[in-house]
A and B are shown apart, each in its own frame.
Chain A
């Protein structure tokens, strides 16, 4: 049963702590993405990766870090440098970043709340 999984579904963090959000896909997709969604705003791109061991900053990368050691996995770390980390985080994947019109498939998301 192919798809994208994200864990955990809900995450609470104290200020000043780093936290890592998991994203795994078994769709054999090359490209993976991390978005952030805040109420009343569109999804904003944090980081994306087109191939293993390579990734690029999106529009709001400050305070975040990623790695892409395996094709299936693209974890996102929210560091203490991120000033407003409370948000809904969505991971997505697509077959290839170089092909136009490709649909992006989304995971179920992680809701992060900073206490």
Chain B
């Protein structure tokens, strides 16, 4: 089993749609969780950290479910500019030993 698993997609949605991604992780002792965004042929950039209580940043909401070992990302009112690959990142032992999922590709269409 991979340490971090994501549905590769692609998710093709119309502008204005709400879309959700899930990511599962295998190490129950994992401490830190993140969503990164990666545009085609570019470097990953931090979208948001995921806290135990869940957190929201504008149209983006991240949730953590420790019991089921998954994190989620919800994007509301999708924009064309949201088209990208979304990487789930988990830090198994704290510090900065990051484990990356393979990413979920999102395409938002007019």
Chain-A contact segment, one of B54-62, B66-74, B95-103: B95-103
Q: A43 contacts B43, CB within 8 Å?
A: no
B8 in complex: contacting residue of A40, A44, A101, A111, CB < 8 Å? A40
Chain B residues near A53: list those with CB within 8 A: none
Number of A-B contacts (CB under 8 A): 53
Size band of the A side of the interface? 20 to 34
Q: Which residue of B lies closest to A9 (CB)?
A: B41
The 8 A CB mask of A18-49 against B (1 = contact, 0 = none) is: 00000000000001010100001111110010
Chain B residues near A102: list those with CB within 8 A: 96
Min CB–CB distance B34 → chain A (angstroms): 8
Question: DSSP class of B's interface residues: helix, strand, loop or mixed?
Answer: loop
Min CB–CB distance B4 → chain A (angstroms): 7
Min CB–CB distance A7 → chain B (angstroms): 14
Q: 7 smallest A-B Cβ distances: which pairs? A: A42-B100, A106-B43, A43-B100, A100-B94, A42-B102, A103-B46, A97-B96
Interface residues of A (CB under 8 A from B): 31, 33, 35, 40-45, 48, 88, 90, 94, 97-104, 106-109, 111
